[in-house]
Chains A and B, each alone.
Chain A
Amino acid sequence: MLAFIVQRLFQAIIVMFVVGLISFSLFQYVGDPVNNMLGPEGTIEERERLRERLGLNDPVPVQFIHYVGNALQGEYGLSYRMGKPVDELIAERLPATIELVFVSALIALLVGVPMGVYTGLNRNSWLSRVFLTVSLVGISLPTFVIGILMILIFGVWLGWLPTFGRGGIVELGGWQTSLLTLKGWSHILMPAITLALFQLTLIMRLVRAEMLEVLRTDYIKFARARGLLNRAINYGHALKNTLVPVITIMGLQIGSLLAFSIITETVFAWPGMGLLFLQGIAFVDIPVMASYLVLMALFFVVINLIVDLLYYAVDPRLRSEHVGGAAH
């Protein structure tokens, strides 16, 4: 177990190093930030001073070492656009994105898994057909269309939910959360559902396919032949065996939810990382882009690690050496 974690951590460090290298190289090859920051009116002296302050005059390897050293201390440099430290900007924006992703992942799981189980067990019921047909819509409509439609229906016509931004924010130990107030939930609901829809349909279809597969296996037949309760067979024996692929996909999807919530955040003017990143691109704000890259890579690495550990928890075959050793 420990050896497994250490090995995975080592791999994670390598990945992060490579990502750091890539994100650092952005600084070298994408435009000259000094032009953007000072505009055409800046004098040569001003430019030189700014270069010195941003550390752009050092040799490249030295710059990289500085970059990594700073990154490890949570310093990602100054935003070219805002003139503020990037870590502060991220700290402002990150909670919004994480909460959005968390809520939509929760929706996707809590709705998608039961729907998948239902459609897997009742393959021919009319409700299953409805679910499957509607899920096609969920998979094929682009996020922004769904978001705009939802704004039109629930925001404009019905007037039930606010159409943009975050609200009802409560400060909780340095973390700005909107999940503690009703107003906050009313703001997060539409973007979270919009973001969740694709994942939900994906999970539903995956769970359904896996359930159909597992229900055909011999051990399910044998469980039936032993007269076990249907509930125990469907939810104990069958569902647990569908979990490994579901965990894999869910891990990947949460990663992409984080990274690609950009569109949803834009549609709902959600003050999250995606919006920050988009503005960063528009302005060639390289420190923002670079740190976004590093941060997302970090999320992916952490999620993958969690996924691996979950495999370990679910499937005894993966911990065979461990248990086998204990048996001797």
Chain B
Amino acid sequence: MTVSPKPPLLEVKDLRIEFPTRRGILVAVDGVSFDIAEGEVLGVVGESGAGKSLTGASIIGLLEPPGRISDGQIYLAGRRIDNLPYEEIRKVRGSEIGMVFQDPLTSLNPLYSVGRQLIETIRTHTDLSEPAARKRAIDLLGEVGIPSPKVRIDQYPHQFSGGMRQRVVIALALCVNPKLIIADEPTTALDVSIQAQIITLLKRLCSEHGAAVMLITHDMGVIAETANRVAVMYAGRLAEVGPVDQVIKRAKHPYTHGLMGSIPKLSRAAERLVQIEGSMPRLNEIPSGCAFNPRCPKAFARCTVERPDLIPVDRSQVACWLYDQVEERTGSDG
């Protein structure tokens, strides 16, 4: 990756998210660091409960209490945003960071027309007049591929199909031209036939509007088609971050490797799918050392004692002790 003098669009440093409970504090996200460059698409994958959505929610300041950021910093274009007062972070939402949720059927307020919801959002963040905002809303609906937007703008969410509603949601997320879109499983609730359309649309619009995307999903196919880089999360920690082709074709972390192996491929029809033994630990049972060590086929003594940090390997960064030795060797060579 080229080093640019500008700070990355989004920079997350050592993010830690905790949930205080009666039986002690649960750490849902632990020491997660990554960044997103302008216009880049970062895919975030992992099993349910790996902390993907929480990471997304914490960036936009929408962690639900009692969840809280207990450590780390989040910077947007060099400005720290994780400790902003409410009114400041509210202004960031929508205008600088947009969000697309999983279920388009429940993301829109059923009692307001889609136009009203668009116009309200546009006018909250800009000085546009009602007619100008309406015109912009109509343009946006056209842009996201809704036919006859002039009629549809006055209709209510229940008059749209699921795919069309997700288009409206994307229009709402993009309507004030934010620099970053956090898309939290934007296609999971949709028909398979619609999924590809929505992903293509999201990618095209974001590049047209110059917005970077943090694409949270557990669909590796979507990642492979859309993302520039991938971050793999496991039990609230980053396992591996790297360019998409690298991670998919030459996964370094044993977990990523297992994850890729569990995807069926047409070319290998007869083979049995590789499967990772066991399941992700619960938050109160995360083992010491590397969180993946009880399931890891390559685990050795160090893995159960010491927690690995991200180590640069090839063009990726991997949190695995397997590569520490390699690193040391190359380090001593040089």
A-B complex is real: yes
> Within the complex, which residue of B62, B91, B120 is in contact with A225, where a contact is CB–CB below 8 Å?
B62
Question: Which residues of chain A (209-232) have a CB below 8 Å from chain B?
Answer: 217-219, 221-230, 232
CA A323 to CA B113, docked complex, whole Å = 12
Question: Which residues of chain B (86-126) have a CB below 8 Å from chain A?
Answer: 90-95, 98-99, 101, 103, 106-113, 120-121, 124-125
- Whether B108 contacts A240 by the Cβ 8 Å rule is no
Contacts of B98 in A (CB 8 A): 225-226
Q: Does A320 contact B (CB under 8 A)?
A: yes
Contacts of B172 in A (CB 8 A): 222, 226
- Whether A219 contacts B151 by the Cβ 8 Å rule is no
Query: Of the 9-residue stretches A14-22, A108-116, A152-160, A310-318, which lies at the interface with chain B?
Result: A310-318
- Whether A226 contacts B94 by the Cβ 8 Å rule is yes
Contacts of A316 in B (CB 8 A): 110-111, 113, 156, 158
Contacts of B94 in A (CB 8 A): 225-228
- Whether A224 contacts B109 by the Cβ 8 Å rule is no
Contacts of A317 in B (CB 8 A): 110, 156, 158
Q: Does A327 contact B (CB under 8 A)?
A: yes
Task: Identify whether the interface residues of B are mostly helix, strand, loop, or mixed.
Answer: helix
- Whether B111 contacts A314 by the Cβ 8 Å rule is yes
Q: Does A8 contact B (CB under 8 A)?
A: no
Q: A219-B106, A316-B158 are in contact. Are A224 and B124 (CB under 8 A)?
A: no
- Whether A226 contacts B124 by the Cβ 8 Å rule is yes
Contacts of B159 in A (CB 8 A): 320, 323-324, 327
Q: Does A241 contact B (CB under 8 A)?
A: yes
Chain A interface: which size bin? 20 to 34
- Whether B169 contacts A222 by the Cβ 8 Å rule is yes
Q: Does B60 contact A (CB under 8 A)?
A: yes
CA A228 to CA B106, docked complex, whole Å = 17
Q: Does A93 contact B (CB under 8 A)?
A: no
- Whether A222 contacts B101 by the Cβ 8 Å rule is yes
- In whole Å, how far is A89's beta carbon from the nearest beta carbon of chain B? 45
- Nearest residue (CB) in B for A320 is B158
- Whether A315 contacts B111 by the Cβ 8 Å rule is yes
- In whole Å, how far is A302's beta carbon from the nearest beta carbon of chain B? 26
- In whole Å, how far is B145's beta carbon from the nearest beta carbon of chain A? 18
